[in-house]
Structure 1
């Protein structure tokens, strides 16, 4: 019988990722989740850290109000790439 073990995130919160641009800021929304806000304070989406076998991935997500669930926009190796995706996706 073959079993696979899922990679679980530790129970400690991650530090807020540093962004290279000051166009957006991250506001903690959970241990592994941040709201991405533009300079005017509008929420562009969410950034989530996900542990994968090759390392940490930064997931760009949007909240789907009708279902109350997050929709994955993409998974990236850097927080900057994930935030840039949310910046240009309207």
Structure 2
């Protein structure tokens, strides 16, 4: 991951879901937040779009079933990379 030393921020206006090429589906959960679900409808995590000084970033957050919390996996330059990180 590249760290520029500046915090990313969430946009205030709801934006359209990014296009992803994988087998998962994005379901809106907030202005710039989507649930990442499998074909069977199981939630595997969140995809969060962030404004960054160098462009848009996508944060992957994996659902940890034992604690029922989301754990940050990382920030990526593409939605596909972020969603792919949730498959592992």
**Aligned residue for 2:25?**
25
Shift in Å, 1:7: 6.0
- Paired with 2:24 and 2:7, the residues of 1 have a C-alpha distance of 32
- Output the aligned Cα RMSD: 2.0
- Structure 2: state its 5+ residue gaps: 1-5
Higher relative contact order (CA closer than 8 Å, sequence separation 6+): 2
**Aligned residue for 2:86?**
86
Structure ID, larger Rg: 1
**Aligned residue for 1:45?**
45
What TM-score does the superposition give when structure 1 sets the normalisation length?
0.78
Note if contact 2:24-2:39 (Cα within 8 Å) is conserved in structure 1. Answer: yes
For the structure 1 residues 74 and 6, does the alpha-carbon distance in structure 2 shift closer, same or farther, using more than 3 Å as the test?
A: closer
What TM-score does the superposition give when structure 2 sets the normalisation length?
0.79
- Structure 1: state its 5+ residue gaps: none
Secondary structure in structure 2 of the residue aligned to 1:60: strand
Aligned pairs, number: 82
Shift in Å, 1:72: 1.1
Could you report, residue by residue, the CA deviation over 1:40-67 in whole angstroms, capped at 9, with x for unpaired residues? 111110000011110110000024574x
The runs of 4+ residues in structure 1 deviating greater than 3 Å are 5-10, 63-66
**Aligned residue for 2:73?**
73
Secondary structure in structure 1 of the residue aligned to 2:86: helix
